[in-house]
Structure 1
């Protein structure tokens, strides 16, 4: 990444991409990047700087919009002040007339190939901020389209491809949380790029509140990418504002190069692991889809015994254990154990779970409150928004900007966590906010940070009706995300495939759901459900009493396989494969040293052709030999009547063959999964 400036003006990124020669003359590069001028243009092209300035006749969206305390718009003009290269690069620019300082911070990570970037604005008097962009970067001219992410409940991580054209692609999330609808990620592939080849640029804005993205093609053809908090989220005047961290990367290996960089950075740099990164990720059991709000101690003990027998190592008690919580209309924020359901408290259940060799986790929804709750009746002023607001799931949000609210939640949660051996909290957030407010997000961060400080061994999962709060900001404070409330393995196959563009296995929860999925009504075979869950941090979330002998056996076998492989898979890179058959969604999880991999090939629909198309692998050593084995070849159906070599046992093949010709897999029904292990000899 090359930054350059003319005189004392704000710098611009004149190049970012493949490594340049170390001896490259940067002044020449700056001059060589300048575009021509012609009729209908200014005599000099305004800089596409790290914060484009309206006062310098920049023709596109500016990087900073603010007013003084009386409401008068300010048009700052910044000049060079200082720089600091102690930790990456920090560049500070000042506007003496308006009493403003603007600082850009960059921190590169050579190991993960991520650059972290942030903008900080300081004023010598209170000002109103409308918009502050993280450092603004140019987008490549060789790109025909951009890929951003939308979604919905039980349908997260939907990729949108939008063609570049003159004007602006403007996406703004004003729901107050990261949102199912607007995951803060962007990929800009160059022409011809695929999962496994070509060039691509990647972005992620690490903030759990509302955010805004601008991808703009200027009249002169240049392109800019801006990220920041949603406009007007700073509701009060202030003297210091900062963007969230913008994470950017560049790939010469297709979309996968960006994906692997983000995966490694999340796992190795962002998440803090209570027991260390090397500690095995435990197989979950969550009781939500088994009992919902109907908590009966003998039933839960029986379910815990069955879950342990299937291979679970952590038992999570979900919603319904507190207050008068018999449905989702009451008692949120009354965080005291329900004596009707647990007359002796949670201790007997926790002791039983521990006696089975499992640890114990507990569900909370700390930032929410039901109008029908003791706390709302005592403190209606603690709720965020007006009295006549539209409820969501019969609840309001608590005003997390209030210290007394944070203290109350902390005290209630700390009392439970101090009293019991609880190593895991499922932290839910089941409604959007009545209005976007940056103080709400900062308050939630402060509460989580305080709990993490005082209970450092407790792991936290971020859940928000599934995938409504997944971003690198929340992952600085948590260790797991609930990718979707959909336990439909067919839907999960696609959601996990696309979520892997930013998220590693280690943080991505995936559970084996009920025989008949509660969100889609679809009935899927246990083997498919189990293998889809085994693609990520594996768990179960069904009533184990419904399992027949075969289903229980399959679940034990797949859980045992996952445990045997989790140590290396947890730190593996997930490569999305370019499947020749659109019906097949396939990925290759590969150890960082390339010594082994596992390929999951999920068949999501009926293929157009009769015989399976070969599946090309990626990122292997061309001259190396690999021992390839079809793990679940016994699952081949009767209609698979031929004898592809993999059905007969292990086979040794070169990296070139595997990447250029590809695996020849047996025929299979839709809604099934082939699992192939590979080891470099």
Structure 2
């Protein structure tokens, strides 16, 4: 990335792409970046700077909007003050002496993950009101005809939207106060002809767990700018210092996968902190939610725990319903004390039983929420965020996390549970949107999690918000796992996991084998498909194991054992999405960091248009190397698969060139099935 400035004006990015030669003529490149002017234009094109300024007749959206302490609109004009650069970081400092403002643009680079991080910091000499502060503004390529951003819904997260570029603005703003199912803060801009595996792509992610805004604007002269920041007017109080969240960006010459692998590696290796170290095996989960819901009976839970352990589970997670008078989802949130009706001897007997079965123990909290029907709300109604007449969500309000007394109360209740019991995992839920966007709410939640992490450093945390409602790199700085969706429907999960891999690695993405009849879709799916879809990510179970017949027990045990045998390398693998010639097949290649082995999951999400499977090309292999490839679940081929593709009979040894240019020919199979190939470089 090459930045340049004219005189003392704010800099702009004049090149962003493959590495330039060390002796590149940067002065020439900076001047050669300028575009022509003609009739009807200004005599010089205003810069698409790191914070475009309205006062310099910039024709698009400015990067900063603020008012003075008395409400007067301000039009900043920044001039160069200082630059501090070392091997992998750069601070550019500019000030506006007339208005008493200083703006700093902070960049860091990571050569191993190929991520550049960027942040904007605004400091003032008096109280001002901030309406909009963009992270460093970057250009978008003009060799692109579309952009890909991410929307979604409950049980349907990570839906990719392709929007054509046109004059004007693509404006997306999330004002729900959390990351949101609907507005995952990610953007991918493919250049013409780019696919999963080839072509140029630019990637963006805004690492913030509150309301946020994205602007993708094409100016009248054809130039394009990308802006990310907190949602407008998120700062409800005047202040003297404001900063954006971190913007993570990358460039890929290898299609969408180049961006995906960069984001995956950066999350796993730089953002997440692992209590027992990254090399420690991630345990197979069992979560009891869809087995018992609120109906907690100790003997039943012990029986379920024993069955889960027999299947291969290594961690038991006690979900909602263990505290207060929590017999349904309308009461007791914030009354974080063990229910003596359900647990007359406390949680100890259940935890001891799980430990005896070889499992660790995790527990569910929803710390930032409160039910009106709770002891704490009756004692402190003023702790709730928003008006008394607000619309409830799941019969609950949000606590005002900006209040220190609220954070202290939640901390004390949670710390009491964690201190008394051997608990190594929290499922941290967040089941409603906020009544208004407020950056202090997000900062307060961060402060609470940070305090708990400091005092209980060996406890892992999963970010859940009705499934995927709070997934971003900001929350992942404080957690080790995300609950991608409340849907345990393997067919829905296949698609959600596939698209989420553009930003998220295997290690942080929880995926569970759900009940035979899915509780959120009503769909019934075969145990093999359910198990293999869960085995694509951090594997777990979330069903009543008492419903399983002998065949289902055998299949689930076999797939779980396979996952355990491979997790050491898979949890640090890169996920490459494959360019499937059959739209009904969602295929990915999880590859060892050094390329020595891989596994391909080819999930069939519907009926194919053609009668026989088309060859599936692999990616990112060494062309001249030989690979041994085996279809490890070929025994699942149905009677209607009547031919003799070689992979249905035996492993094959072929070159990387053949695998990437001809591709593997898989047997025919029904919809809602998964083929699994193992590959190893010889």
TM-score (norm 1): 1.00
Q: What corresponds to 2:416 in structure 1?
A: 415
Q: What corresponds to 1:29 in structure 2?
A: 29
The whole-number CA distance in structure 2 between the counterparts of 1:100 and 1:537 is 47
The whole-number CA distance in structure 2 between the counterparts of 1:159 and 1:76 is 37
Q: What corresponds to 2:223 in structure 1?
A: 222
Q: What secondary structure is seen at the aligned counterpart in 1 of 2:440?
A: helix
The whole-number CA distance in structure 2 between the counterparts of 1:29 and 1:52 is 21
**Per-residue deviation, residues 622-650 of structure 1 (Å, max 9, x unmatched):** 00000000010110101111111111111
Q: What corresponds to 1:84 in structure 2?
A: 84
**Per-residue deviation, residues 418-454 of structure 1 (Å, max 9, x unmatched):** 0000000000000000000000000000000000000
After superposition, residues 575-654 of structure 1 pair within 5 angstroms as 575-654=576-655
After superposition, residues 416-565 of structure 1 pair within 5 angstroms as 416-565=417-566
Q: What corresponds to 1:303 in structure 2?
A: 304
Alignment pair present for 1:62 and 2:62: yes
After superposition, residues 165-564 of structure 1 pair within 5 angstroms as 165-564=166-565
The whole-number CA distance in structure 2 between the counterparts of 1:313 and 1:136 is 46
Shift of 1:42: 0.3
Alignment pair present for 1:71 and 2:71: yes
Shift of 1:240: 0.2
Shift of 1:574: 0.1
**Per-residue deviation, residues 261-292 of structure 1 (Å, max 9, x unmatched):** 00000000000000000000100000000000
Q: What secondary structure is seen at the aligned counterpart in 2 of 1:450?
A: helix
Q: What secondary structure is seen at the aligned counterpart in 1 of 2:433?
A: coil
After superposition, residues 2-21 of structure 1 pair within 5 angstroms as 2-21=2-21
Shift of 1:85: 1.1
The whole-number CA distance in structure 2 between the counterparts of 1:649 and 1:120 is 60
Q: What secondary structure is seen at the aligned counterpart in 2 of 1:605?
A: coil
The whole-number CA distance in structure 1 between the counterparts of 2:484 and 2:588 is 17
**Per-residue deviation, residues 305-359 of structure 1 (Å, max 9, x unmatched):** 0000000000000000000000000000000000000000000000000000000
Q: What corresponds to 2:573 in structure 1?
A: 572
The whole-number CA distance in structure 1 between the counterparts of 2:142 and 2:76 is 29
The whole-number CA distance in structure 2 between the counterparts of 1:462 and 1:425 is 9
**Where does structure 1 differ by over 4 angstroms across 4 or more consecutive aligned residues?**
none
Q: What corresponds to 1:667 in structure 2?
A: 668
The whole-number CA distance in structure 1 between the counterparts of 2:393 and 2:26 is 55
Q: What corresponds to 1:41 in structure 2?
A: 41
The whole-number CA distance in structure 2 between the counterparts of 1:649 and 1:509 is 32
The whole-number CA distance in structure 2 between the counterparts of 1:156 and 1:17 is 30
Shift of 1:664: 0.4
The whole-number CA distance in structure 2 between the counterparts of 1:14 and 1:60 is 18
The whole-number CA distance in structure 2 between the counterparts of 1:41 and 1:627 is 62
TM-score (norm 2): 1.00
The whole-number CA distance in structure 1 between the counterparts of 2:579 and 2:184 is 23
The whole-number CA distance in structure 2 between the counterparts of 1:572 and 1:297 is 39
The whole-number CA distance in structure 2 between the counterparts of 1:655 and 1:90 is 44
The whole-number CA distance in structure 1 between the counterparts of 2:666 and 2:142 is 40
Shift of 1:572: 0.3
Q: What secondary structure is seen at the aligned counterpart in 2 of 1:10?
A: coil
Q: What secondary structure is seen at the aligned counterpart in 1 of 2:158?
A: strand
The whole-number CA distance in structure 1 between the counterparts of 2:383 and 2:478 is 24
Q: What secondary structure is seen at the aligned counterpart in 1 of 2:436?
A: coil
The whole-number CA distance in structure 2 between the counterparts of 1:177 and 1:317 is 25
**Per-residue deviation, residues 334-389 of structure 1 (Å, max 9, x unmatched):** 00000000000000000000000000000000000000000000000000000000
CA RMSD, aligned part only?
0.4
Q: What secondary structure is seen at the aligned counterpart in 1 of 2:674?
A: strand
Q: What corresponds to 2:135 in structure 1?
A: 134
Unaligned stretches of 5+ residues in structure 1: none
Shift of 1:25: 1.0
The whole-number CA distance in structure 1 between the counterparts of 2:352 and 2:644 is 52
